[in-house]
Homo-oligomer: A and B are copies of this chain.
């Protein structure tokens, strides 16, 4: 078992499968794009364990509470780890988290986007530790997100050189 998989198991964390797209929907792009030593991660949604979109839906500060949104951000993190493991083969290939762009669908006057995205950052630090898990971050308020999602996160990680190269 990989080091990170063992850590996930010790924390009782299970990664969801890829997003089950709603009928008729086409997303003509990959969830992760590897270029050289960088893996660029598309904007991800919170997912249920079966890969369906996880609620609650709506604007944070109005339809969704801060605590619910933090839980959603953590679910986004699990979804991203699932995508990265499927694409990379092993999460042990991640040498460093680099950039996290946290988007929160925000009701007028809601200004706690950093506290929401902490739900994601804390997961990454729990799983990867402070050195590998550290990341530059923004956490900001969007007018709308696809499917009425409360949180969407885009990210980038740096990979160890592939064996034999």
| Chain A residues near B (Cβ < 8 Å) | 25-33, 35-38, 40-43, 96-101, 103, 105-106, 108-115, 118, 121-122, 125, 134-148, 152, 154, 158
Q: Report which of B29, B111, B144 forms a contact with A148, defined as CB distance below 8 A.
A: B111
Which of A30, A101, A143, A148 has the most C-beta atoms of chain B within 10 angstroms of its own C-beta?
Answer: A143
B27→A114 contact, CB < 8 A? yes
Question: Given the known A-B contacts A141-B142, A143-B141, are A32 and B111 also in contact in the complex, defined by CB atoms under 8 Å?
Answer: no
A43→B138 contact, CB < 8 A? yes
B36→A158 contact, CB < 8 A? yes
Stoichiometry, copies per complex: 3
B40→A144 contact, CB < 8 A? no
A47–chain B nearest beta-carbon distance, Å: 16
CA distance A145 to B98 in the complex (A): 22
B139→A100 contact, CB < 8 A? no
Instruction: Give the residues in chain B near A27, CB-CB below 8 Å.
Output: 114, 118
Given A32-B136, A36-B158, A141-B142, 5 more pairs with CB closer than 8 A: A43-B137, A108-B143, A108-B144, A111-B145, A143-B143
B134→A140 contact, CB < 8 A? no
6 pairs, CB–CB < 8 Å, chain A vs chain B: A25-B114, A28-B122, A33-B134, A40-B99, A105-B143, A106-B144
CA distance A130 to B8 in the complex (A): 33
Which of A109, A111, A138, A152 has the most C-beta atoms of chain B within 10 angstroms of its own C-beta?
Answer: A138
A143→B106 contact, CB < 8 A? yes
A98→B143 contact, CB < 8 A? no
